[in-house]
Amino acid sequence: MKVNQIHRALLDRLAYIRINGLQHKDPQYETGEGMMIRGIAELIHRFGSTPTNEFSQDMWDDIKCFHEKFLREYTGPGRLLPEDLQEFREITMAEELGEYKEAVESGNKEEILDALVDLVYFAIGTVYLHGFNFPEAWRRVHKANMQKVISKGEGSDRGGEFDVVKPEGWEAPNLGDLVK
């Protein structure tokens, strides 16, 4: 059973508990398993409904399935892409970014969302074809990014109010072992 299937089953149990209260009238809650399910479901409810690694892992699995289906699977070590494939990936990502810009200019929110998802899908597919460990790289980059601070106009090369910057002592994530 995948993590998200277990998660959904636990949330279903939590919904049952909410509707019927925490009393033990249902025999399944009198067993050790039932008590464990109730406890886990309540922890999920208390601390958030989505496990932190489920989102990126599911996306990564989807990308792998897509490439396997279309006979583009790559399971070797990290690599540079062949020049023709690299050029194709660059052109396609640029096209997707262009579609996003066009959607923004037209104000079409559905097309904006579609273009962004396509861009991310294609970018993650490119990471996959390189043979890099995306889920671990994501974890490390996210951890480092969470240490950044709002620029308040200082230290930003972009000069925008939306920028976040590296504070003094910030360390970039080490990804070297993921590309060998």
Domain that holds residue 10: 3-47
- Cβ within 8 Å of residue 24, ≥6 positions away: 30
Same domain, 58 and 115: yes
Looking at the fold, whether 60 and 124 belong to one and the same domain comes out as yes
Percent of the chain at pLDDT above 90? Answer: 49
**50-74 pLDDT tens trace:** 444 445 578 888 999 999 999 899 9
Please tell me whether residues 97 and 162 are part of one structural domain: no
Instruction: Give the integer Cα–Cα distance in Å for 38 and 107.
Output: 46
Place of tokens 């995948």: 2
Distance CA 112, CA 151 (A): 27
pTM assigned to the model: 0.66
What CATH code is carried by the domain that includes residue 58?
1.10.3420.10
Say how far apart CA 86 and CA 50 lie, in whole Å.
35
Question: Do residues 14 and 75 both lie within one domain?
Answer: no
Count of structural domains within the chain: 3
Task: Mark whether 105 and 154 lie in a shared domain.
Answer: no
3-class SS of residue 13: helix
Same domain, 90 and 118: yes
Same domain, 126 and 115: yes
Residues 86 and 151 in one domain: no
- 20/80 same-domain check: no
Judgement on whether residues 171 and 147 belong to the same structural domain of the protein:
yes
Alpha helix locations (H) across 74-176?
A: 83-106, 109-130, 134-145
Q: Write out pLDDT tens, residues 137-175.
A: 999 999 999 998 888 766 667 766 778 888 889 999 999
Largest interatomic CA distance in the chain: 66
